[in-house]
Amino acid sequence: MRLGSISSLSCDQLCKYLHSSLGDEYSNIINSFKINQVTGDDFVLFEQKDYETLSVPWKFQKKLKEIQGSGVVDNPGSTPNPSPNPSPNPVPGNTSNAPTSTGRESLETQRDIIQMKSKIDLLSNSLLQLVEQMKVTKPPTNNFSNLSPATQNKILNPSPQSKRIPIIDPTCVGANSIPKLTGEVPSLYDATLLPNLPKGRGKPVSLPSSCDGPSDDVVFSQVYDESKNCIAIIPNVPNPYDISSYGEYVVTIFDESGQREVLKSLVNVNPPESIILPKKFMIKTPLSEPIDGTIELMYGGRNMFTGSVTQGDADLPLNLLDGTFEVIIKPNKSNLLPLKFKMIIHDSVRTTSSHQNVGRPKKPKEMDFVLAWGESPLDLDSHMWCIHPNGSISHVYFGGRSVDKMSLEADTQNGFGPETISIIRLDGCKYVYAVHNFSTEGEIAQSGAKLTIAHETSTLFERCIPNTRQTGARFWVVCTIDGTSGDIDFKDHFEFHNSQTDIPLKYK
């Protein structure tokens, strides 16, 4: 066996060595090393920011750091050629086949290096174990009051899509079926056998928790509902486009005092499906017309793909690496605006398809409100009310499509959308935007509705409907808009009546 320095390896040699040492599981990461021409000299100087720049998932960093820290590689190049006439059984007393003094010293030096490396590895592992033992667990915190009203509603009224998940012992090495959590819908723990839970409250109770995992920015919120005999839990990821936030976390839930443990479990935090890069885009105008044009994928400032959009369809390559991508859609028609947004790939997961809508150039103070939703309910309707300074109210919807510089451009009645309301804001006025479930089938709370708000040449906000068990809601009141400043105040409230006149009076 021959030892060498990692820093002496070329990019190709380093990638071959990493692949032989770590296996196919690391192929995506090794490809990223190739793309960025990382040499051995670069690798030994890696810092945490370099792993993050290359989007190396947290669970793969440990082994790479062990190799990096050793600085030594076995068999970095070709092995020494054997002697032309080896003599496996040298004749006693015949010194012609015996190692020379220099050869013996070389062998002894190699053995010393191997022994020293082994001792360093043992010491390194011992230090890592000591650090883990000394690590101070973050104190439990109760984050429920810091959640938006929409997220509070999600966790208090879990969606039909919420699933019961098992408690996974964090000490089980190689545990299978680690439950996957996203910020879209809460997951549920069965509380039947759990200790230290409050009793007889008659309402859901929020509980504190602590966690350890890839990112210190990620926290968890949970509520115990005695009537449903479950704990609803949801991760809070401040920056959903940072893939280093995702991965395995150990979550510990405590009683209300934060002193007694209720449960400890391993979970796997995943990105919401809505931001995962699909295999295909379907792209339309605000009037639901498919577009032609081009699509680009940018990764770390580099163009990774350029393709065509034909009749609204854009197929993407299937062999993309994990990371954060900027998507740029450029329509061929000059009266349509380019669309830019971010999406991610984490753990090689891709969705099948994604619907997107391009915008159009707008005048000063003009805003577009583009509503899209899922297959059910079939008919959701956009409504905009303008409350004038004198108290009078204007209303644009399918029954009156144009009034006071507000207009409805499409009324979709077979699912998905889009429906677009355009306004030119009037000074001193206040606007209220809401979505009405006109259909008699399906629940608006489970419609998957998304509102995109665009102003002049940019997209200001995208707002998704809270996905809850709420039944019977007829309106989703999304926001109010200041006509002078354009400031948006999101409400995310459900209304259960069917009166179009009550909405502006309540939210004026």
Is 310 in the same domain as 207? no
Question: Is pLDDT of 145 > 50?
Answer: yes
More confident residue, 92 or 372: 372
Is residue 473 within 8 Å of residue 435, measured between CB atoms? no
CA distances from 346 to 177, 343, 357 (A): 17, 10, 24
User: Confidence class of residue 3 from pLDDT cuts 50, 70 and 90?
Assistant: low
Nearest to 113 by CA among 70, 62, 66: 70
Is 208 in the same domain as 252? yes
Question: Is pLDDT of 348 > 60?
Answer: yes
Is residue 401 within 8 Å of residue 407, measured between CB atoms? yes
- pLDDT tens for 401-457 read 999 999 998 767 676 778 899 999 999 999 999 999 988 778 888 888 989 888 866
User: Confidence class of residue 96 from pLDDT cuts 50, 70 and 90?
Assistant: very low
Sheet holding 366-372, edge to edge: 402-403, 406-408, 419-424, 366-372, 450-455, 458-464
More confident residue, 92 or 453: 453
Report, as an integer, the average pLDDT of 8-12: 90
Is residue 415 within 8 Å of residue 444, measured between CB atoms? no
Report, as an integer, the average pLDDT of 222-236: 96
More confident residue, 233 or 54: 233
User: Confidence class of residue 94 from pLDDT cuts 50, 70 and 90?
Assistant: very low
Spatial neighbors of 399 by CB under 8 A, at least 6 apart, are none
- Does the bond joining 466 to the residue before it have cis omega, within 30 degrees of 0? no
**DSSP E strand stretches across 228-338:** 230-236, 247-254, 261-269, 280-284, 293-299, 302-309, 313-315, 323-331
Is 208 in the same domain as 308? no
Domains held by the chain: number: 4
Is 73 in the same domain as 163? no
Residue found by looking up tokens 């092995």 in the block? 79
- The chain-wide mean pLDDT, for the chain, equals 85
- pLDDT tens for 239-296 read 999 999 999 999 999 999 999 999 999 999 999 988 999 999 999 887 778 999 999 9
Question: Is pLDDT of 114 > 80?
Answer: no
Tokens of 59: 């669970």
Spatial neighbors of 205 by CB under 8 A, at least 6 apart, are 198, 223, 224, 226, 256
Q: What's the confidence (pLDDT) of residue 309?
A: 97
| Residue 86, domain member (yes or no) | no
Q: What's the confidence (pLDDT) of residue 75?
A: 53
Is 414 in the same domain as 307? no
Question: Is pLDDT of 88 > 80?
Answer: no
Is 313 in the same domain as 373? no
Nearest to 445 by CA among 419, 413, 468, 418: 468
Assign residue 23 the CATH number of its domain. Answer: 1.10.150.50
What DSSP state is assigned to residue 135?
P
Is 372 in the same domain as 496? yes
Q: Radius of gyration (Cα) for the chain, nearest Å?
A: 30
| Residue 424, domain member (yes or no) | yes
Model-wide pTM > 0.75: no
Q: End of a domain among 340, 357, 374?
A: 357
Q: What's the confidence (pLDDT) of residue 91?
A: 40
Sheet holding 205-207, edge to edge: 187-190, 230-236, 219-225, 205-207
Question: Is pLDDT of 173 > 90?
Answer: no
Is residue 273 within 8 Å of residue 161, measured between CB atoms? no
Number of helical H runs and strand E runs in the chain: 8, 28
Q: What's the confidence (pLDDT) of residue 73?
A: 74
- pLDDT tens for 180-208 read 999 888 999 999 999 999 999 999 999 99
| Residue 122, domain member (yes or no) | yes
Report, as an integer, the average pLDDT of 345-352: 95
Report, as an integer, the average pLDDT of 336-356: 92
| Residue 248, domain member (yes or no) | yes
| Residue 83, domain member (yes or no) | no
What is the C-alpha separation between 436 and 9, in angstroms, rounded? 64
Q: How many CA atoms lie within 13 A of 275 on its CB side?
A: 24
Q: What's the confidence (pLDDT) of residue 95?
A: 42
Q: What's the confidence (pLDDT) of residue 79?
A: 35
Residue found by looking up tokens 């054997």 in the block? 82
More confident residue, 73 or 111: 73
What is the C-alpha separation between 322 and 224, in angstroms, rounded? 35
Q: Which of 94-98, 163-167, 192-196, 283-287 has the lowest mean pLDDT?
A: 94-98
Burial category of 196 from C-beta neighbours within 10 Å (exposed 0-12, middle 13-18, buried 19 and up): middle
Assign residue 307 the CATH number of its domain. Answer: 2.60.40.1120
| Residue 104, domain member (yes or no) | no
What DSSP state is assigned to residue 10?
-
- pLDDT tens for 39-75 read 988 888 888 878 877 878 877 888 888 888 887 776 5
Q: What's the confidence (pLDDT) of residue 108?
A: 62
Q: Could you tell me the sign of the dihedral formed by the alpha carbons of 479, 482, 488, 490, in that order?
A: negative
User: Confidence class of residue 304 from pLDDT cuts 50, 70 and 90?
Assistant: very high
Question: Is pLDDT of 34 > 90?
Answer: no
Is 20 in the same domain as 38? yes
Q: Which of 88-102, 351-365, 410-424 has the lowest mean pLDDT?
A: 88-102
Q: Which domain holds residue 51?
A: 1-77+109-135
Are β-strands 180-181 and 187-190 bridged in parallel, bridged antiparallel, or unpaired? unpaired
Is 387 in the same domain as 254? no
Assign residue 178 the CATH number of its domain. Answer: 2.60.40
Q: End of a domain among 271, 295, 313?
A: 271
More confident residue, 52 or 140: 140
Share of the chain above pLDDT 70, in %: 85
For residues 219-243, one letter each, b for 16 or more C-beta atoms within 10 angstroms of the residue's C-beta and e for the rest, the string is bbbbbbbbeeebbbbbbbbeebebb
Q: Which of 20-34, 53-67, 72-86, 175-189 has the lowest mean pLDDT?
A: 72-86
Is 54 in the same domain as 153? no
Is 179 in the same domain as 263? yes
Q: Could you tell me the sign of the dihedral formed by the alpha carbons of 95, 96, 97, 98, in that order?
A: positive
Question: Is pLDDT of 315 > 90?
Answer: yes
Is 253 in the same domain as 183? yes
Report, as an integer, the average pLDDT of 308-314: 97
CA distances from 229 to 58, 183, 201 (A): 34, 22, 13
| Residue 94, domain member (yes or no) | no
What is the C-alpha separation between 425 and 237, in angstroms, rounded? 34
| Residue 92, domain member (yes or no) | no
Q: What's the confidence (pLDDT) of residue 97?
A: 45
Q: End of a domain among 357, 377, 409?
A: 357
